[in-house]
Protein backbone atom coordinates (compact mmCIF):
# COMPACT_ATOMS: atom_id res chain seq x y z
CA UNK A 1 0.00 0.00 0.00
CA UNK A 2 1.43 3.35 -1.02
CA UNK A 3 1.66 6.30 1.32
CA UNK A 4 -0.86 8.19 -0.87
CA UNK A 5 -3.41 5.33 -0.63
CA UNK A 6 -2.94 5.13 3.13
CA UNK A 7 -3.49 8.87 3.40
CA UNK A 8 -6.67 8.66 1.31
CA UNK A 9 -8.03 5.80 3.43
CA UNK A 10 -7.25 7.72 6.62
CA UNK A 11 -9.01 10.80 5.20
CA UNK A 12 -12.08 8.75 4.26
CA UNK A 13 -12.23 7.14 7.71
CA UNK A 14 -11.96 10.50 9.46
CA UNK A 15 -14.58 11.99 7.12
CA UNK A 16 -16.90 9.06 7.83
CA UNK A 17 -16.42 9.53 11.54
CA UNK A 18 -17.24 13.23 11.28
CA UNK A 19 -20.32 12.61 9.17
CA UNK A 20 -21.66 10.04 11.65
CA UNK A 21 -21.05 12.33 14.61
CA UNK A 22 -24.26 13.79 16.02
CA UNK A 23 -23.95 17.53 15.69
CA UNK A 24 -26.45 19.96 17.18
CA UNK A 25 -26.32 23.61 16.20
CA UNK A 26 -27.55 26.38 18.45
CA UNK A 27 -28.88 29.45 16.66
CA UNK A 28 -29.08 33.04 17.96
CA UNK A 29 -32.82 32.58 18.59
CA UNK A 30 -31.80 29.85 21.09
CA UNK A 31 -33.26 27.11 18.92
CA UNK A 32 -31.38 23.83 18.67
CA UNK A 33 -31.03 22.11 15.29
CA UNK A 34 -30.15 18.41 15.08
CA UNK A 35 -28.17 17.93 11.87
CA UNK A 36 -28.66 14.15 12.03
CA UNK A 37 -32.47 14.31 11.90
CA UNK A 38 -32.57 17.67 10.07
CA UNK A 39 -35.06 19.04 12.57
CA UNK A 40 -35.30 21.46 15.46
CA UNK A 41 -35.22 19.90 18.91
CA UNK A 42 -35.81 21.02 22.48
CA UNK A 43 -33.67 20.85 25.60
CA UNK A 44 -35.81 17.87 26.67
CA UNK A 45 -34.77 16.07 23.48
CA UNK A 46 -31.12 16.73 24.29
CA UNK A 47 -31.72 15.37 27.80
CA UNK A 48 -33.10 12.20 26.22
CA UNK A 49 -29.92 11.86 24.16
CA UNK A 50 -27.96 11.97 27.41
CA UNK A 51 -30.23 9.35 29.00
CA UNK A 52 -29.84 7.15 25.91
CA UNK A 53 -26.03 7.58 26.13
CA UNK A 54 -25.96 9.03 22.59
CA UNK A 55 -22.76 10.98 21.95
CA UNK A 56 -23.32 14.49 20.63
CA UNK A 57 -21.74 17.91 20.36
CA UNK A 58 -23.54 21.24 20.53
CA UNK A 59 -21.93 24.13 18.67
CA UNK A 60 -22.79 27.75 18.04
CA UNK A 61 -24.21 27.97 14.51
CA UNK A 62 -22.29 31.19 13.76
CA UNK A 63 -18.99 30.84 15.58
CA UNK A 64 -18.73 27.00 15.83
CA UNK A 65 -17.89 27.43 19.52
CA UNK A 66 -18.42 24.22 21.51
CA UNK A 67 -21.47 24.77 23.74
CA UNK A 68 -21.92 21.17 24.93
CA UNK A 69 -21.02 21.89 28.56
CA UNK A 70 -23.27 24.93 28.60
CA UNK A 71 -26.24 22.86 27.38
CA UNK A 72 -25.52 20.08 29.89
CA UNK A 73 -25.40 22.66 32.68
CA UNK A 74 -28.79 23.99 31.53
CA UNK A 75 -30.22 20.48 31.79
CA UNK A 76 -28.78 20.10 35.30
CA UNK A 77 -30.24 23.49 36.27
CA UNK A 78 -33.70 22.42 35.10
CA UNK A 79 -33.41 19.10 36.93
CA UNK A 80 -32.32 20.87 40.12
CA UNK A 81 -35.16 23.41 39.83
CA UNK A 82 -37.86 20.76 39.47
CA UNK A 83 -38.54 17.47 41.21
CA UNK A 84 -36.05 16.25 43.80
CA UNK A 85 -32.71 18.10 43.59
CA UNK A 86 -29.46 16.16 43.83
CA UNK A 87 -27.41 18.96 45.40
CA UNK A 88 -28.24 20.79 48.62
CA UNK A 89 -27.66 24.54 48.93
CA UNK A 90 -24.63 23.94 51.16
CA UNK A 91 -23.03 21.57 48.62
CA UNK A 92 -23.63 24.04 45.78
CA UNK A 93 -22.14 26.84 47.89
CA UNK A 94 -19.07 24.73 48.64
CA UNK A 95 -18.60 23.92 44.93
CA UNK A 96 -18.81 27.64 44.07
CA UNK A 97 -16.10 28.41 46.67
CA UNK A 98 -13.69 26.10 44.84
CA UNK A 99 -13.85 28.17 41.63
CA UNK A 100 -10.67 30.21 41.36
CA UNK A 101 -9.22 28.33 44.35
CA UNK A 102 -5.88 26.55 44.09
CA UNK A 103 -7.77 23.32 44.81
CA UNK A 104 -10.20 23.71 41.88
CA UNK A 105 -8.42 21.30 39.52
CA UNK A 106 -7.91 18.62 42.16
CA UNK A 107 -11.49 18.89 43.45
CA UNK A 108 -12.85 18.59 39.90
CA UNK A 109 -10.73 15.48 39.33
CA UNK A 110 -11.78 14.02 42.70
CA UNK A 111 -15.49 14.47 41.94
CA UNK A 112 -15.15 13.11 38.41
CA UNK A 113 -13.33 9.97 39.54
CA UNK A 114 -15.88 9.37 42.30
CA UNK A 115 -18.77 9.64 39.84
CA UNK A 116 -16.97 7.24 37.48
CA UNK A 117 -16.37 4.73 40.30
CA UNK A 118 -20.01 4.91 41.32
CA UNK A 119 -21.11 4.48 37.67
CA UNK A 120 -18.91 1.37 37.36
CA UNK A 121 -20.60 -0.12 40.44
CA UNK A 122 -24.04 0.67 39.04
CA UNK A 123 -23.19 -0.96 35.69
CA UNK A 124 -21.96 -4.12 37.43
CA UNK A 125 -25.14 -4.23 39.47
CA UNK A 126 -27.41 -3.77 36.41
CA UNK A 127 -25.54 -6.41 34.40
CA UNK A 128 -25.70 -8.84 37.32
CA UNK A 129 -29.42 -8.17 37.79
CA UNK A 130 -30.11 -8.72 34.08
CA UNK A 131 -28.26 -12.05 34.15
CA UNK A 132 -30.08 -13.26 37.26
CA UNK A 133 -33.61 -12.25 36.20
CA UNK A 134 -33.17 -13.68 32.67
CA UNK A 135 -35.70 -11.31 31.12
CA UNK A 136 -38.52 -12.18 33.52
CA UNK A 137 -40.82 -9.36 34.64
CA UNK A 138 -39.63 -7.89 37.92
CA UNK A 139 -41.86 -8.18 40.98
CA UNK A 140 -41.34 -7.53 44.70
CA UNK A 141 -40.66 -11.15 45.57
CA UNK A 142 -38.10 -11.59 42.80
CA UNK A 143 -36.38 -8.33 43.78
CA UNK A 144 -36.13 -9.42 47.43
CA UNK A 145 -34.75 -12.78 46.38
CA UNK A 146 -32.23 -11.13 44.08
CA UNK A 147 -31.04 -8.74 46.79
CA UNK A 148 -30.62 -11.59 49.28
CA UNK A 149 -28.46 -13.47 46.78
CA UNK A 150 -26.48 -10.39 45.73
CA UNK A 151 -26.02 -9.01 49.26
CA UNK A 152 -22.37 -10.08 49.70
CA UNK A 153 -21.50 -8.97 46.17
CA UNK A 154 -23.07 -5.54 46.70
CA UNK A 155 -21.26 -5.20 50.02
CA UNK A 156 -18.00 -5.96 48.23
CA UNK A 157 -18.77 -3.37 45.55
CA UNK A 158 -19.55 -0.69 48.12
CA UNK A 159 -16.40 -1.52 50.10
CA UNK A 160 -14.45 -1.21 46.86
CA UNK A 161 -16.08 2.18 46.17
CA UNK A 162 -15.24 3.40 49.69
CA UNK A 163 -11.63 2.27 49.25
CA UNK A 164 -11.38 4.04 45.88
CA UNK A 165 -12.86 7.20 47.34
CA UNK A 166 -10.44 7.08 50.29
CA UNK A 167 -7.47 6.55 47.97
CA UNK A 168 -8.53 9.46 45.77
CA UNK A 169 -8.81 11.70 48.83
CA UNK A 170 -5.36 10.63 50.06
CA UNK A 171 -3.90 11.33 46.60
CA UNK A 172 -5.49 14.76 46.66
CA UNK A 173 -3.99 15.47 50.10
CA UNK A 174 -0.55 14.40 48.87
CA UNK A 175 -0.86 16.73 45.86
CA UNK A 176 -1.83 19.58 48.19
CA UNK A 177 1.20 18.96 50.38
CA UNK A 178 3.49 18.77 47.35
CA UNK A 179 2.09 22.04 46.00
CA UNK A 180 2.50 23.71 49.38
CA UNK A 181 6.13 22.57 49.64
CA UNK A 182 6.87 23.75 46.10
CA UNK A 183 5.22 27.11 46.74
CA UNK A 184 6.88 27.81 50.07
CA UNK A 185 10.20 26.39 48.87
CA UNK A 186 10.57 29.47 46.66
CA UNK A 187 10.76 31.72 49.72
CA UNK A 188 13.82 31.10 51.90
CA UNK A 189 13.00 31.19 55.56
CA UNK A 190 15.75 32.54 57.80
CA UNK A 191 15.57 31.73 61.48
CA UNK A 192 15.61 35.03 63.37
CA UNK A 193 18.72 35.47 65.50
CA UNK A 194 18.54 37.02 68.95
CA UNK A 195 20.09 40.51 69.12
CA UNK A 196 23.73 40.60 70.17
CA UNK A 197 24.40 41.76 73.70
CA UNK A 198 26.46 44.91 73.88
User: pTM (2 decimals)?
Assistant: 0.58
Q: What is the mean pLDDT of residues 44-58?
A: 95
Report whether 198 contacts 143 (CB < 8 A): no
Residue 99 pLDDT exceeds 50: yes
What pLDDT is attached to residue 155? 62
d(CA 115, CA 76) in angstroms, rounded, equals: 15
Report whether 49 contacts 56 (CB < 8 A): yes
Average predicted confidence (pLDDT) for the chain: 76
Angle subtended at Cα 69 by Cα 115 and Cα 59, rounded to the nearest 5 degrees:
145
What pLDDT is attached to residue 46? 97
What pLDDT is attached to residue 16? 44
Q: pLDDT band at 193, cuts 50/70/90?
A: low
pLDDT tens for 115-166 read: 887 777 677 766 665 555 555 555 666 656 655 655 565 566 566 667 766 7
Amino acid sequence: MTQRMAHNMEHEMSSGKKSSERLIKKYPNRRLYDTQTSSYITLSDVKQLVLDADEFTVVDAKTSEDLTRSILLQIILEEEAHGVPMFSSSVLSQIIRYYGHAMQGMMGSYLEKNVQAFTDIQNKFVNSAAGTLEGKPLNTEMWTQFMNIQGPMMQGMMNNYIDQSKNLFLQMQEQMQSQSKAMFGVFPFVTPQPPEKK
